[in-house]
């Protein structure tokens, strides 16, 4: 390939490779493949949505899983698509249409016209997010992209409705539901968010009436309420039958102020005597508990708050048409004037808000469709018994709790954008009740005699079918046979009830099998101050801008590196910067290899491996091991951190630097060096072979590393894989020689390690050399010698030391020379460090500061003594020596010996200063 540029420029390569992968069909899943299947269905983003950081986290994890599975040799289906997102989309379109002045309320346009606008909107804005996912590198099978309102998908939704209706699990009824006055629709319980609010508890006085129906002076029943405006619809005052304060009032009547309506005092167990005044105003139509009480006591149900949240005629002339919040004020003012407001207390309570429109939810009595959840018991046990594994596992508890308290699901919505309820009502007045309702995927044969139910279904009533409705259900398609149940689901815990639980139930009910085997719950992405990301706070960075600035790989890597399994992520742009820096490091490490010239090297020759070579191969082996283990536990942050450390600290900082002793010096120098070794003079040919072997190790490590990084950094790894020529020996397959299908590195097998003599290699010996280098650099630092100044070190070796090792030392120390002198007698105060390799001195001409050197050594000695004391304390404990396992004991003894040896060397050096 052409020479790599000095810095990695992601913009230049990302689109190129994404296009290549798509063109080669790398993402396309083949149901006929003999390979084992791996499948994920994407949590469908809102069709008109924009990519945000939550998507980045979520889809990056899925992409990592998919890419890893491909490298593991599996046939992968990552099925993408979008959700019609009923309320959300309809609200967005309504807002836009109002802004354009095309309507005030959707009724102005009418259903058909309005839906045309929504579809137009969908055509225009839908699919933006798909393009954004491609930018991120998502390897979805786009040929199978689905939308929850595709005709085939809609048919699935209808079929499911009809089937459940016929089973008696779906029914229609007049119930108290959560009503969103802004969207003017019913909501499910899950769509209501409880928000703690500072409000008031108003104590209202209702005049008691005597037997003649006349107010008795000074006699009142006092009720406490947080919602005084609802009093206009009161039908009773309730007390606890066992409350001695009020038993005498039961059966009496009182006058409802403002309405001048006579209402009874009733007794109901529901009332808690300890709360408020012990008397509860009963508003049958606007409070769920009051509704229950009203049913028990046969009270009327006057509706004083309408579907749009404004007061109705029944609220009285003075209040008709007022907004409920205005009415609250007005009622309070009026009651105050009439001296019927006893007192106002500050009161903190929870108010239900619509998750979508962020307005307080109104309990509202209306005709709705409900579902009794199917296959609930089976679904609950599937998770509890681990057939479906949650990661992290703790979410099973949340799931179980919800499954154990299932309440019927209100599935109808008074919207237009969505799947229409497949039910028609006969216009004829005669005939049996059953004959008046037509429920079928097809309209009745004589449609002119029927009226279709106006409602649409909750969006989640289509999403819960996603894992199989996207794969061709109800047909027994090859795709379903191959890829259902899916392998993993990646989603947020906030939709565990909305989606995960319901998909499990749908899976069992309609497929007779679980929909997925593993569920990975991500955390929530927050800003660096820990706040949720939101448009209003403006703290939500645009992922596309980040991609443009740093590259998609950088964004992916930075996000994954700071996202531990199931914990919230405090996102900081610094994380992406880190990712960008890392990509650049990877790039330049490959560039270094490229600048050494030569073809990609093949087999490593075991006989020519140096200790350093073996050292890095062992570290690589360990890294492969750790990363593979991290993958198995979905610990991607551990995987990235391990990779980062291995590559940057171990490979680049140490191995590459050490390899320069072989690679970047002239052959003559190596030749001279080899004459001094015990192997004797090496021929030029042998030296070339050694050099080639070092290149082979570089190639080996890099080609493994690129593969290990590929799931996280798909673009740069492909660019380098191709550019470096590592695809050379790969077989041609569906994607050509892409890294996407390169085999995932396996830990080096025992025979492999034997082959390369890796077990014989004493990694610790290399560690000791590197440690000596660090100490030597420290010497220079402590002596205040600027890094630019060339210095000479003297090494008094503890044993024979090959000339090549000395050269490595010299290079790593950035020294002019390291003179080896077994008989070196350091001058008094010459700074030196003392290791098992030998003593390393930094002779300073005329600048010896005995006191400074003494201080330095004394400080070091203190450190050593502390370590020795710690180990010795344990070893002196007979309980420890008696009970600790042998290997732990041995380790401690060895450690003690090492520290003691160090101590001896330092004491010796100190003695020479006397």
> Does 781 sit near RNA (CB under 7 A)?
yes
How, if at all, do strands 215-225 and 236-239 pair? unpaired
Minimum Å gap between C-beta 900 and RNA is 12
- Cβ atoms of 209 and 216 within 8 Å: the answer is yes
Interatomic CA distance for residues 258 and 316, integer angstroms:
8
> Does 667 sit near RNA (CB under 7 A)?
no
> Does 332 sit near RNA (CB under 7 A)?
no
Applying CB under 7 A, among 432, 446, 885, 914 the residue interacting with RNA is 885
Residue (649 or 733) nearer to RNA, CB = 649
Interatomic CA distance for residues 209 and 215, integer angstroms:
4
Applying CB under 7 A, among 852, 884, 910, 913 the residue interacting with RNA is 884
Q: Which of these ranges, 121-129, 458-466, 818-826, 877-885, lies near RNA under the rule CB under 7 A?
A: 877-885
Within residues 365-394, the interface with RNA by CB under 7 A covers: 394
Interatomic CA distance for residues 813 and 773, integer angstroms:
6
Applying CB under 7 A, among 31, 564, 797, 843 the residue interacting with RNA is 564
> Does 595 sit near RNA (CB under 7 A)?
yes
> Does 615 sit near RNA (CB under 7 A)?
no
Helix (H, G, I), strand (E, B) or coil at 807: helix
Size of the site for RNA (CB under 7 A): 92
Residue (172 or 526) nearer to RNA, CB = 526
Residue (313 or 343) nearer to RNA, CB = 343
Q: Which of these ranges, 206-214, 319-327, 581-589, 692-700, lies near RNA under the rule CB under 7 A?
A: 581-589
> Does 592 sit near RNA (CB under 7 A)?
yes
Long-range contacts of 211-218 (CB under 8 A, 24+ apart): 213/253, 213/262, 215/255
Minimum Å gap between C-beta 661 and RNA is 13
Q: Where are the beta strands (DSSP E) in 49-158?
A: 75-79, 81-82, 146-147
Residue (31 or 392) nearer to RNA, CB = 392
Residue (479 or 637) nearer to RNA, CB = 637
Applying CB under 7 A, among 224, 305, 514, 519 the residue interacting with RNA is 224
> Does 406 sit near RNA (CB under 7 A)?
no
> In terms of Cα–Cα distance, which of 223, 250, 238 is closest to 292?
238
Minimum Å gap between C-beta 473 and RNA is 30
Applying CB under 7 A, among 888, 893, 904, 908 the residue interacting with RNA is 888
Minimum Å gap between C-beta 130 and RNA is 29
Element (H, E) at 342: strand 341-354
Interatomic CA distance for residues 484 and 411, integer angstroms:
26
- Cβ atoms of 185 and 339 within 8 Å: the answer is no
> Does 397 sit near RNA (CB under 7 A)?
yes
> Does 622 sit near RNA (CB under 7 A)?
no
> Does 572 sit near RNA (CB under 7 A)?
yes
Residue (394 or 427) nearer to RNA, CB = 394
- Rounded to a whole number of angstroms, the CA Rg of the chain reads 38
Report CA-CA distances (Å) from 609 to 357, 612, 621, 755.
68, 8, 16, 11
Within residues 232-291, the interface with RNA by CB under 7 A covers: 270-278, 280-281, 287-289
> In terms of Cα–Cα distance, which of 846, 827, 833, 826 is closest to 777?
833
Within residues 204-223, the interface with RNA by CB under 7 A covers: 223
Element (H, E) at 362: strand 362-371
Q: Which residues, in sequence order, are CB contacts of 164 under 8 Å at separation 6+?
A: 170, 371, 374
Residue (473 or 592) nearer to RNA, CB = 592
Minimum Å gap between C-beta 595 and RNA is 5
> Does 350 sit near RNA (CB under 7 A)?
yes
- Cβ atoms of 57 and 563 within 8 Å: the answer is yes
Residue (229 or 455) nearer to RNA, CB = 229
Minimum Å gap between C-beta 865 and RNA is 13
Q: Which residues, in sequence order, are CB contacts of 393 under 8 Å at separation 6+?
A: none
> Does 601 sit near RNA (CB under 7 A)?
no
> Does 664 sit near RNA (CB under 7 A)?
yes
Applying CB under 7 A, among 203, 635, 704, 753 the residue interacting with RNA is 635
- The H-assigned helical ranges of 511-551 are 543-550
Residue (160 or 365) nearer to RNA, CB = 365
- Cβ atoms of 746 and 624 within 8 Å: the answer is yes
Q: Which of these ranges, 3-11, 90-98, 123-131, 738-746, lies near RNA under the rule CB under 7 A?
A: 3-11
- Cβ atoms of 238 and 293 within 8 Å: the answer is yes
Convert residues 163-202 into a mask of x (bound to RNA by CB under 7 A) and - (unbound): --------------------------xx--xx--------
Within residues 812-831, the interface with RNA by CB under 7 A covers: 814
Within residues 838-867, the interface with RNA by CB under 7 A covers: 867
Report CA-CA distances (Å) from 499 to 177, 393, 504.
20, 18, 9
- Cβ atoms of 66 and 105 within 8 Å: the answer is no
How, if at all, do strands 569-570 and 525-526 pair? parallel
Within residues 782-811, the interface with RNA by CB under 7 A covers: 786-788
Minimum Å gap between C-beta 238 and RNA is 8
> Does 401 sit near RNA (CB under 7 A)?
yes
> Does 589 sit near RNA (CB under 7 A)?
yes
> In terms of Cα–Cα distance, which of 289, 281, 301, 272 is closest to 227?
281
Within residues 522-561, the interface with RNA by CB under 7 A covers: 528, 530
Applying CB under 7 A, among 26, 109, 335, 656 the residue interacting with RNA is 656
Interatomic CA distance for residues 62 and 495, integer angstroms:
17
Q: Which residues, in sequence order, are CB contacts of 527 under 8 Å at separation 6+?
A: 533, 537, 539, 540, 570, 571, 572
Minimum Å gap between C-beta 386 and RNA is 16
If phi > 0 it is left, if psi is from -120 to 50 it is alpha, else beta; for residue 110 that is left
If phi > 0 it is left, if psi is from -120 to 50 it is alpha, else beta; for residue 375 that is left
Residue (430 or 879) nearer to RNA, CB = 879
Helix (H, G, I), strand (E, B) or coil at 786: coil
Residue (274 or 339) nearer to RNA, CB = 274
Report CA-CA distances (Å) from 776 to 495, 616, 791, 794, 804.
57, 22, 11, 10, 18
Within residues 720-779, the interface with RNA by CB under 7 A covers: 773-774, 777-778
Minimum Å gap between C-beta 546 and RNA is 14
Applying CB under 7 A, among 379, 806, 899, 905 the residue interacting with RNA is 899
Interatomic CA distance for residues 708 and 894, integer angstroms:
35
Q: Which of these ranges, 117-125, 149-157, 457-465, 868-876, lies near RNA under the rule CB under 7 A?
A: 868-876
Applying CB under 7 A, among 166, 248, 349, 679 the residue interacting with RNA is 349
Minimum Å gap between C-beta 592 and RNA is 3
Residue (20 or 347) nearer to RNA, CB = 347
Residue 434: DSSP 8-state: G
Q: Which of these ranges, 18-26, 81-89, 299-307, 639-647, lies near RNA under the rule CB under 7 A?
A: 639-647
Minimum Å gap between C-beta 148 and RNA is 23
Minimum Å gap between C-beta 75 and RNA is 32
> Does 873 sit near RNA (CB under 7 A)?
no
Interatomic CA distance for residues 220 and 254, integer angstroms:
8
């Amino acid at each position: 390939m052409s020479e790599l540029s000095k810095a990695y420029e992601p913009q230049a390569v990302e689109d190129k490779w994404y296009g290549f992968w798509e063109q080669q069909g790398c993402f396309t899943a083949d149901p006929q493949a003999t390979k084992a299947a791996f499948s994920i269905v994407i949590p469908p983003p809102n069709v008109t949505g924009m990519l945000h950081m939550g998507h980045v986290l979520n889809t990056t994890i899925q992409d990592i899983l998919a890419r890893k599975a491909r490298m593991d040799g599996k046939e992968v289906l990552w099925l993408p698509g979008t959700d019609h997102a009923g309320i959300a989309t309809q609200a967005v379109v309504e807002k836009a249409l109002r802004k354009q002045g095309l309507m005030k309320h959707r009724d102005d346009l009418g259903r058909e016209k309005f839906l045309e606008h929504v579809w137009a909107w969908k055509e225009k804005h839908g699919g933006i997010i798909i393009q954004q996912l491609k930018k991120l590198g998502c390897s979805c099978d786009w040929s199978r992209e689905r939308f929850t309102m595709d005709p085939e998908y809609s048919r699935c939704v209808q079929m499911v409705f009809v089937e459940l209706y016929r089973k008696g699990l779906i029914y229609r009824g007049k119930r108290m539901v959560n009503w969103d006055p802004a969207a003017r629709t019913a909501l499910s319980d899950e769509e209501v968010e409880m928000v703690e609010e500072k409000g008031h508890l108003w104590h209202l006085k209702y005049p008691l009436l005597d037997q003649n129906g006349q107010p008795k002076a000074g006699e009142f029943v006092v009720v406490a309420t947080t919602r005084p405006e609802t009093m206009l619809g009161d039908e009773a005052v309730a007390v606890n039958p066992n409350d001695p304060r009020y038993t005498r009032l039961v059966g009496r009547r009182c006058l409802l102020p403002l309405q001048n309506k006579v209402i009874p005092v009733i007794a109901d167990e529901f009332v808690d005597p300890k709360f408020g005044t012990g008397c509860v105003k009963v508003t049958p139509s606007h409070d769920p508990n009051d509704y229950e009480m009203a049913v028990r006591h046969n009270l009327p149900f006057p509706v004083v708050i309408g579907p749009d949240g404004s007061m109705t005629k029944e609220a009285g002339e003075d209040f008709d048409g007022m907004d409920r919040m205005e009415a609250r004020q007005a009622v309070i003012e009026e009651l105050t004037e009439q001296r019927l407001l006893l007192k106002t207390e500050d009161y903190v309570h929870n108010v239900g808000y619509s998750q979508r429109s962020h307005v307080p939810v109104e309990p509202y009595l209306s005709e709705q469709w409900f579902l009794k959840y199917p296959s609930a018991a089976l679904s609950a046990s599937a998770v509890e018994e681990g057939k479906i594994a949650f990661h992290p596992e703790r979410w099973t508890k949340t799931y179980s709790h919800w499954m154990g308290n299932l309440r019927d699901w209100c599935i109808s919505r008074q919207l237009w954008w969505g799947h229409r309820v497949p039910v028609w009502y006969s216009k004829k007045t005669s005939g049996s009740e059953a004959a008046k309702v037509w429920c079928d995927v097809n309209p009745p044969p004589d449609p002119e005699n029927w009226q279709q139910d106006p409602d649409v279904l909750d969006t989640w009533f289509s999403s819960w079918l996603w894992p199989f409705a996207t794969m061709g259900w109800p047909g027994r398609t090859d795709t379903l046979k191959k890829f259902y149940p899916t392998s993993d689901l990646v989603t947020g815990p906030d939709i565990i009830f909305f989606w995960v639980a319901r998909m499990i139930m749908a899976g069992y009910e309609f497929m007779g099998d679980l929909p997925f085997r593993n569920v990975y719950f991500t955390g929530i992405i927050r800003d660096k101050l820990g706040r949720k990301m939101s448009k209003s706070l403006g703290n939500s960075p645009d992922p596309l801008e980040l991609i443009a600035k740093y590259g998609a790989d950088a964004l992916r890597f930075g996000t994954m590196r700071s996202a531990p399994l199931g914990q919230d992520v405090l996102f900081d742009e610094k994380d992406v910067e880190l990712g960008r820096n890392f990509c650049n490091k990877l790039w330049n490490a490959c560039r270094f290899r490229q600048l050494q010239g030569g073809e990609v090297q093949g087999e490593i020759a075991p006989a020519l491996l140096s200790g350093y070579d073996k050292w890095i191969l062992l570290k690589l082996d360990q890294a492969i091991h750790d990363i593979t283990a991290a993958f198995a536990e979905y610990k991607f942050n551990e995987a990235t951190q391990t990779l980062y450390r291995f590559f940057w600290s171990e490979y680049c900082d140490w191995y590459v630097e050490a390899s320069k002793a072989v690679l970047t010096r002239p052959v003559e120098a190596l030749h001279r060096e080899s004459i001094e070794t015990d192997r004797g003079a090496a021929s030029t040919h042998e030296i070339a072979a050694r050099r080639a072997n070092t290149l082979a190790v570089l190639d080996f490590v890099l080609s493994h590393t690129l593969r290990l990084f590929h799931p996280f950094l798909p673009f740069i790894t492909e660019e380098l894989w191709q550019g470096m020529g590592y695809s050379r020996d790969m077989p041609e397959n569906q994607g050509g020689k892409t890294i996407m299908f390169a085999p995932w590195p396996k830990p080096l097998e025992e025979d492999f390690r034997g082959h390369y003599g890796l077990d014989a290699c004493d990694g610790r010996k290399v560690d000791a050399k590197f440690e000596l280098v660090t100490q030597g650099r420290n010497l220079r630092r402590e002596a205040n010698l600027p890094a630019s100044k060339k210095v000479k070190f003297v090494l008094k070796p503890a044993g024979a030391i090959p000339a090549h090792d000395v050269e490595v030392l010299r290079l790593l120390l950035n020294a002019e020379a390291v003179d080896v002198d077994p008989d070196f007698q350091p001058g008094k105060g010459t700074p030196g460090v003392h290791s098992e390799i030998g003593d390393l001195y930094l002779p300073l001409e005329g600048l010896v500061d005995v006191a400074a050197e003494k201080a330095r050594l004394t400080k070091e000695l203190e450190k050593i003594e502390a370590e020795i004391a710690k180990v010795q304390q344990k070893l002196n404990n007979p309980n420890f020596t008696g009970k600790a396992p042998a290997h732990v004991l041995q380790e401690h003894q060895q450690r003690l010996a090492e520290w003691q040896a160090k101590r001896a060397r330092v004491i010796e050096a100190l003695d020479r200063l006397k």
